[in-house]
C-alpha cells in the first residue's frame, strides 16, 4: 500500500477526513488500526501514563494490520511506513512542503526521509467561500513535489465557488509498481492514469462533430 499524509491548517477537517478514510477501508474488509490520544477516532488505541503513543504504534505494527492511522505530530509514525506498513497520518501545516519541514525538524531526520515515508500528500484548505476542499494531491519525486490532482475554480454561484478536481499529471511508475505489489487490479490501475491530451481533443472534436450533425439534421427537418 501507499502511505498518505493529510495536511491542513486547524479547522480544515483533517481528523474528520482521516476518520472517513479509515472507516471506508474497514468497510472494505481491511484490518485498520488507529492510534489516537484525543479520543477522536472510534475504536482507536489510546496512550496512557504508562504507555506512550510511540509504544502503541509499535504494538500496532506487531499486530500486522493492513493500515495504521495516526497523527504524525504525536510520534514518529513515519518509521512504520518506512518499514512497510501503509500509514494514513495527519499534521497541521499550511501546505505539504511546510508539513514535511516541520516533521523533519520534530524528529531530527531529513525531509527526504519523510517524503519517502509519505510519497502522496493530501492538502486540505478553506477556500474564500468558507468551504473546505481538497486543494491538491502532490507526489514526491526525487527533490520536488509534483501535483497530480488539483481543485480548479471555474466560476461562482452567489458566494459559493464552483470548480472541479482535475488530474493534471500521472502518478510515477514507482507508485504504480508498489500498487501492483499490493495487489491492485490492472483495470483499477488504468483508472488512476491521466487521460492523454490527444484522446481528450479527439473526444472534444467528436462531440463537436456530433453537435454539428445534430444541428444539420434539425435544419433539414425544419426545411421540410
Residues 209 and 180 in one domain: no
- Which has more pLDDT, 155 or 210? 155
Residues 52 and 106 in one domain: yes
Residues 160 and 67 in one domain: yes
Provide the pLDDT for residue 164. 97
Q: Does residue 120 register a pLDDT over 80? A: yes
Residues 99 and 206 in one domain: no
The mean pLDDT value for 104-133 works out to 94
Tell me the three cell numbers of residue 29.
474488509
Measured CA angle at 81 (ends 14, 26), to 5 deg: 55
Residues 38 and 105 in one domain: yes
The mean pLDDT value for 118-144 works out to 95
- Which contiguous run of DSSP H or E holds residue 136? strand 132-141
Strand partners, 8: 92
Residues 163 and 175 in one domain: yes
Question: Could you tell me the CA-to-CA distances from 6 to 14, 118, 216 in Å, in that order?
Answer: 7, 10, 51
Instruction: Provide the residue range defining the domain that includes 219.
Output: 195-224
For 89-168, where are the alpha helices, taking DSSP H only? 96-107, 111-117
Residues 96 and 202 in one domain: no
Q: How many domains does the chain have?
A: 2
The mean pLDDT value for 142-151 works out to 92
Amino acid at each position: 500500500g501507499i502511505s498518505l499524509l493529510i495536511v491542513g491548517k486547524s479547522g480544515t477537517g483533517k481528523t474528520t477526513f482521516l476518520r472517513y478514510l479509515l472507516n471506508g477501508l474497514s468497510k472494505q474488509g481491511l484490518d485498520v488500526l488507529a492510534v489516537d490520544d484525543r479520543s477522536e477516532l472510534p475504536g482507536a488505541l489510546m496512550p496512557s501514563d504508562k504507555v506512550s503513543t510511540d509504544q502503541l504504534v509499535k504494538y500496532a505494527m506487531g499486530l500486522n494490520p493492513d493500515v495504521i492511522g495516526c497523527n504524525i505530530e504525536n510520534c514518529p509514525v513515519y518509521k512504520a511506513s518506512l518499514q512497510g506498513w501503509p500509514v494514513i497520518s495527519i499534521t497541521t501545516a499550511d501546505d505539504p512542503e511546510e508539513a514535511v519541514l516541520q516533521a523533519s525538524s520534530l524528529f531530527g531526520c531529513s525531509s527526504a526521509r519523510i517524503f519517502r515515508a509519505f510519497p502522496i500528500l493530501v492538502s486540505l484548505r478553506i477556500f474564500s467561500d468558507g468551504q473546505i476542499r481538497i486543494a491538491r494531491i502532490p507526489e514526491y519525486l526525487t527533490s520536488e513535489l509534483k501535483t497530480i490532482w488539483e481543485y480548479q475554480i471555474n466560476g461562482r454561484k452567489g458566494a459559493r465557488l464552483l470548480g472541479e478536481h482535475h488530474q493534471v499529471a500521472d502518478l510515477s511508475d514507482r507508485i504504480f509498481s508498489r500498487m501492483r505489489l499490493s495487489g491492485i487490479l490492472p483495470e483499477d490501475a488504468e483508472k488512476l492514469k491521466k487521460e492523454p491530451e490527444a484522446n481528450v481533443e479527439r473526444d472534444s472534436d467528436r462531440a463537436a462533430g456530433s453537435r454539428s450533425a445534430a444541428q444539420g439534421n434539425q435544419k433539414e427537418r425544419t426545411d421540410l
